Structure 1
Amino acid sequence: MKENSKTVPQPGHLLISEPFLQDENFVRSVVLICENNESGAFGLVLNKVSILKLNELIDELDFLNTEVYVGGPVEQNTLHFIYSGQKLLDGSVSLGENMWWGGSFEQLILKLNASEIDLEDIRFFIGYSGWSVGQLESELEEKTWIVCEKSETESIFKSSPEELWRVILKKMGGEYQVLANYPIDPRLN
């Protein structure tokens, strides 16, 4: 995997928080970049589970007791989703190899009601992570984030939220393998 703080993260890239980041919204976070353009950047935190379940948010899916993740601190009254596999919904945006962001919510509800989507292949998020023009680039210069340019669809959907940060860093190899084992509080080491 490639990492470069000069790289402009593209849709499908991951931002991995450096181990010393103390921002409570992003401690040990893995953020999937969904959009990065002249208006700013949009991403979803992949490894922060909320206290909510999908059936508490969507009446038409009251039978799905599925986890919902906290996509970030912005607009937590919005619901977003990603899924893996083939494109299933009109309007879905490709995020690289076999991963999609959003799409027709009406089609999604119909497919979930008909059990046409495996729940292991979809993740729901309340809120999102957003950066204004130049903000993400500044954070990259400050080395707040490590950029993973390789598609990690399998790791995203198969790893537990608690292990995802560590799994991605280990897969990146080299110096990142060392960071993967860095304790949250080095004083307790």
Structure 2
Amino acid sequence: MNIDSDIFKIQSNNVLPSRGKILISEPFLCDATFGRSVILLVDHTDEGSMGLVINKQLPLFLNEIIMEFKYLDEIPLYKGGPIATDTLFYLHTLSDIPGSISISKGLYLNGDFDEIKKYILQGNKINECIRFFLGYSGWDSEQLNNEIRENTWLVSEEEKSYLMKNNIKDMWRTALEKLGSKYETWSRFPQVPTLN
């Protein structure tokens, strides 16, 4: 029987990182924050990169932090990364929030939080419109490019609807599967092979 041993080699898909693209961690990355993670790049320049882990929910709700939201339905909080974990970041699809940064078509980062609060307190839809994160992920100049060359990350693009969904259970696996059969096989690898 002929086995294609290349299938076990972690190899980049040669897509360049830029604002609005996602990073998908390689299957054997054993790290509490970055293992099996999908990260949205919110900035990528010569000085460095910044992203938000979009598929790791915290055991905490925004309602527990912002008292005005106390009586609303639970608003999930996600772990954006290990840096500035006491800082709130928010992705949204609201084009009229002053001070927002455009990440990709129809997707924005931060902006006037009073306007976000007003939007929520008026009973508007939150699900798939706004996602909240504590902390962010950051890389110094060239650090992310080096990690991509070392095949720690695959770079891909995703639709706004994928990035904004609250059902994050299979986000990492589905992002890999969309890249083709080789990567789909990776999605079934156990994270710690010795435990298999």
Same fold (TM over 0.5): yes
- Please report the TM-score for the alignment, with normalisation by the length of structure 2: 0.86
Distance, in Å, in 2 between the alignment partners of 1:159 and 1:75 is 23
Q: How far off is 1:45 after superposition?
A: 0.3
Distance, in Å, in 1 between the alignment partners of 2:162 and 2:195 is 29
Distance, in Å, in 1 between the alignment partners of 2:113 and 2:19 is 21
Equivalent position amino acid for 2:92 in 1? Y
The structure 2 residue matched to 1:38, chosen from 40, 46, 53, is: 46
Q: How far off is 1:54 after superposition?
A: 0.4
* Residues 1:181 and 2:176 are matched in the alignment: no
- Please report the TM-score for the alignment, with normalisation by the length of structure 1: 0.89
Q: How far off is 1:114 after superposition?
A: 0.6
8 Å CA contact 1:30, 1:46 repeated in 2? yes
Partner of 1:151: 158
Q: Aligned residues: percent identity? A: 38
8 Å CA contact 2:37, 2:56 repeated in 1? yes
Partner of 1:95: 103
* Residues 1:79 and 2:93 are matched in the alignment: no
Distance 1:18 1:110, change over 3 A: same
Partner of 1:109: 117
Equivalent position amino acid for 1:141 in 2? R
8 Å CA contact 2:30, 2:192 repeated in 1? no
| Structure number with bigger Rg | 2
8 Å CA contact 2:25, 2:38 repeated in 1? yes
Distance, in Å, in 2 between the alignment partners of 1:88 and 1:45 is 25
For the aligned residue pairs, the C-alpha RMSD in angstroms reads 1.8
* Structure 2 residue matching 1:162: 3-state secondary structure: coil
User: Aligned pairs, how many?
Assistant: 184
State the Cα deviation string for residues 146-180 of structure 1 (Å, max 9, x = none): 000x2332222336222100111112223211112
